[in-house]
Structure 1
Amino acid sequence: MSDAQEFRPPSPEILTFLIPISLQALLLHPIFPAALSRPLRFLLAPFSIYLTWFSSFDHGFEPRESSVGINFVLGVMNAYGVWKALEWGTAADLTPYTWVGFVETEEGKAVGPKESKEDLEAIRRNQAEKDGPLDIISWTILLLGSMRGNGWAFGPPPRSLAPHPPRQLLAFLRSTLFEITWSHLSLVSCAVVLLARQPSRMVFFSTLFPSLPDSTLRILSEAVATMALGTGAFAGLTLGMQIAILVVFVPTELLRLLPLPTALKPNPFDARQYPPLFLRPWAPENVSHFWSQQWHSFFSLPFAYLGFGPFSKVGEAVGGKAGGRALGVLAVFAMSAWLHEHAIWSATHTLPPPSIPLDFPTRWGGSIYFMAQGVAIILEGAWRAITGKKVQGPLAFIWSVCCMAGLGYYTYLAWSTLGLFNNLPHPAEWTWARWLIPMAAVSPPQAFA
């Protein structure tokens, strides 16, 4: 294997964006007065946005043509970084960025106490007076890594959280390893379906249903692949989250065992900061409930701050309360569409050559899917406004599956055509490592050659 074909991680330059965006997060700490914090965060925002935006285009895993999947993940995170840079650069009310801890609910869900704005301001004043340098650094790192806001004032409500894992260390470790095992097995199964590609899938189904025509076998093959893409995303996100939790958990507890001064020891690991990402996503009540409460809530705050909040106000001025909600919902899903488009294009690095023309559904399949989810939520709201009844029950489940799994075909069509599975080895070529090591099944071929 030549040097040009060797699997290489991104260069350290990919982390350059962390300098300005970390400073933005630091300036949100209450020790900095608003008169200083706000203009500095605003001035840092263009640097954070620029460096974050182009980071996934300029840096990534190599060779890029066979590392599309892993670079897609980098693209998603960098798009999220653009949102956070804009959010932190323009935030005027800083009370949401207040660490408030947890309140246990009866279901074992840990949520931040719902303090008033005056209470949050008092907490921030107290933190400004008492926090030392190490406290401020720890606070900043925690904010940088807290996508969902668990334990922060901007954290999610109880209804959108699954019960957190057990807090006893051994029980937590067992729970985490169990989650890693089942999500790994699920991701491997989905990878087998997706990487076998359509001809292999059609041969498989033709042996099961020899009387079916090729057109029906093709539809069945694409339907199964679409389900595998969605299920694989669910399993992959769960697996990645659990591995990340383990990476935090093990060093934290090992450091606490060392004979270090108390001031240098990390705080005890708190499982309440790491509830499961999903809340029964396999049983959607309706489209609105699925996306607001059952799917992961990584992007909730940017969606609300940059999307729903400002656009609902514009829509309400034009079309009343219903118009405001509709425009706000569409803005949220437009943001989601852009995030995924940014990820796939930065992962493939260049536009498709002119000699490979793409029709509209293929080129914009991902955006079609996400915008359609917004339209479905608006229709559910209209149904409730007209009939006075919530979309629920068995028919609502069928409707939700059609909207999310059925329309998911457009995402599968677009991403597979644009190269999400490019050059990944066929399952028949896998070594033992791809079957057994978490995330190896979807890793570039050179990583486990």
Structure 2
Amino acid sequence: METINNTTLILSMQSFTSSTPWFTSNQTSSSWGTSQPAQGVLTRWLFEKVLFLSLMVVQCALLHPQFQHSSSARLSRLSLGPPIIGWWLCYPFRLPLLPFQDRNIFPGFLAAIMVFKSLEWTFSPGPYHIRTLKIVDGTPVWEKESTTKISSENSQSNNLADLALWTTLQFTSQRGFRWSWGPAAKGNENSFLQALLEIVRLQLVLLPCLGFVLYSQDWDSYDFDPRKPLLSLGVPSFRGLGLLAGGIHSACTMFVISCSIEMISALPVLSTYLLYPAAKRIGLPSKLVELANPANFPPQFGSLFELSSLAHFWGKSWHQKFRRPFLFCGGKPAMSIARALGGSANVQKISGVMGVFALSGLFHEYPMYAFQRAPHPYPRALFETLPASFLFFFLQSFGVILEPLIIPYVPRRLGGAKLWTAAFLLLTAPLFTRDICRPAGMFNQYRPPHLWTWLDILIPAPIAARIL
């Protein structure tokens, strides 16, 4: 549970349960309207959700070190995998359709995340060990250490309370900072004032970028034209305006996504600056006190302007919330297949990179098929719609593989690695932005700029989208 925001994976399930439109009859109305749900349908959905979440909790708990020598625990995890994975794969497509203006893409992403978690817990040899946040030269860090060393440093208790805490932390973990499988990383070093100012900075970056993206939309054609905001500002039309506007639009989309994710994570972390000293003052157990330590919640993103390479951008600068599932479910199987076929070490490495980005592409493509089910202005159909989001992420693997051969030939006076990285991202970005930036798309939750008030300026945009 490296960010407080990870608990939304569970809390949001409750919000879906209480949201009546999702539990209407599973038949599509010709008017795209919704009706009151039958009590039996609501009860069935509640039962199914509780059942499969409970099975996932059991599957997760069986990775605890106390079960590492139990063959029955391993077989239980293996047998629980297929029904859990199958249920979550179907989940977003079984939800009743809302009018396209009111749809949310979150159920699709939630389902994909749960599938990844269950796949890992099904096939992982385990066990997983908790590692502690250490202070090295005055800096909080998680060090990459051997499982044996972590296990010897942290004796695992077998009582029910510790097992419940361990399971909760593992279930809600994404970046894995607390875990033996997580990467080496620095903890959060910001003070409360710095964290608050960071949220202000994020809002100042997010609003103009969001305004540019939304103003580019054309609800008559259900498309977007990046030149529209520039022309409305009085920029004269010229031959390269479309290319310039497209680059600005892609950059703005990147900042809208990154600032939104960072802000959603950073807002709850503010409370830890008050909770942590209060928890220590009242004498809570050290394990519970450390859960509220602000140092446990570093920023989601690194510097997006470093651009030293595509590998660094996707592996360090961009958020790493799904690094573990992409490696475990995509990279490692691809490397194993290449090894089994007699591939060299380089071939195995290349296969792993392609496997990671292929799975990333599927992760971003899959929810859109549920989100854009007919009736929709531009319905998404398998084998009929160009899988542009998948292609964008899969193409990144070719950039990562080829850039060691290309970067040395890019003159440093022109930018060198920075020019290569920025150019590749901007040239491939339209594949992704066309999928998510059109009207009735992923940014449907935000109000059009002409409806903004002073509240939209003051309230963090992801929160304003929900309450205004």
* TM-score, normalising length: structure 2: 0.77
Work out whether 1:186 is the aligned partner of 2:211. Answer: no
| Alpha-carbon distance in structure 1 between the residues aligned to 2:379 and 2:93 | 23
Taking the TM superposition and a 5 Å limit, the aligned residue runs for 1:30-179 are 30-32=65-67, 33-59=69-95, 63=98, 65-68=100-103, 71-94=104-127, 97-106=128-137, 108-115=139-146, 117-122=147-152, 126-127=155-156, 130-158=157-185, 161=186, 164-166=188-190, 171=191, 173-179=192-198
**Amino acid in structure 2 at the alignment position of 1:102:** L
Instruction: State the partner residue of 1:402.
Output: 423
| Alpha-carbon distance in structure 2 between the residues aligned to 1:53 and 1:35 | 28
Work out whether 1:289 is the aligned partner of 2:308. Answer: no
CA positional deviation for 1:212: 2.3
Instruction: State the partner residue of 1:365.
Output: 388
Instruction: State the partner residue of 1:433.
Output: 455
Partner SS for 1:297: coil
CA positional deviation for 1:119: 3.2
Instruction: State the partner residue of 2:59.
Output: 24
**Amino acid in structure 1 at the alignment position of 2:348:** G
Instruction: State the partner residue of 2:433.
Output: 412
| Alpha-carbon distance in structure 1 between the residues aligned to 2:100 and 2:379 | 18
| Alpha-carbon distance in structure 1 between the residues aligned to 2:445 and 2:140 | 42
CA positional deviation for 1:151: 2.5
Percentage identity across aligned positions?
Answer: 21
**Amino acid in structure 2 at the alignment position of 1:212:** S
CA, structure 1 residues 370+351, in 2 after alignment: closer, same or farther (shift >3 Å)?
farther
- The Cα RMSD (Å) is 3.6
CA positional deviation for 1:109: 4.9
Instruction: State the partner residue of 2:227.
Output: 202
| Alpha-carbon distance in structure 2 between the residues aligned to 1:252 and 1:332 | 37
| Alpha-carbon distance in structure 1 between the residues aligned to 2:360 and 2:107 | 15
Partner SS for 1:11: helix
Range moving further from structure 2, 332-341 or 178-187? 178-187
| Alpha-carbon distance in structure 1 between the residues aligned to 2:133 and 2:410 | 32
Query: Per-residue CA shift, 1:135-171, capped at 9, x if unaligned?
Result: 211111111222111131111124xx5x5224xxxx3
**Moved >6 Å (runs of 4+):** 353-360, 389-393
Partner SS for 2:437: helix
Partner SS for 2:400: helix
CA positional deviation for 1:222: 2.9
Instruction: State the partner residue of 2:258.
Output: 234
Query: Per-residue CA shift, 1:98-127, capped at 9, x if unaligned?
Result: 012123345835113513x44345467x31
Where does structure 1 lack aligned partners over 5 or more consecutive residues?
1-7
Range moving further from structure 2, 9-18 or 137-146? 9-18
Where does structure 2 lack aligned partners over 5 or more consecutive residues?
1-13, 19-45, 219-224
| Alpha-carbon distance in structure 2 between the residues aligned to 1:315 and 1:390 | 32
CA positional deviation for 1:255: 5.7
Instruction: State the partner residue of 1:3.
Output: none
CA contact (8 A) 1:198 1:222 kept: no
CA contact (8 A) 2:217 2:437 kept: no
| Alpha-carbon distance in structure 1 between the residues aligned to 2:295 and 2:372 | 37
CA positional deviation for 1:397: 0.7
CA positional deviation for 1:308: 1.5
Query: Per-residue CA shift, 1:288-332, capped at 9, x if unaligned?
Result: 121122222212222222221221132243431222111111110
Instruction: State the partner residue of 1:11.
Output: 17
Taking the TM superposition and a 5 Å limit, the aligned residue runs for 1:288-307 are 288-307=311-330
| Alpha-carbon distance in structure 2 between the residues aligned to 1:38 and 1:280 | 41
* TM-score, normalising length: structure 1: 0.80
Count of aligned residue pairs for this structure pair: 416
CA contact (8 A) 2:55 2:80 kept: yes
Greater fraction helix: 1
Query: Per-residue CA shift, 1:229-265, capped at 9, x if unaligned?
Result: 111111111111112434666566656666x875996
**Amino acid in structure 2 at the alignment position of 1:42:** L
**Amino acid in structure 2 at the alignment position of 1:182:** R
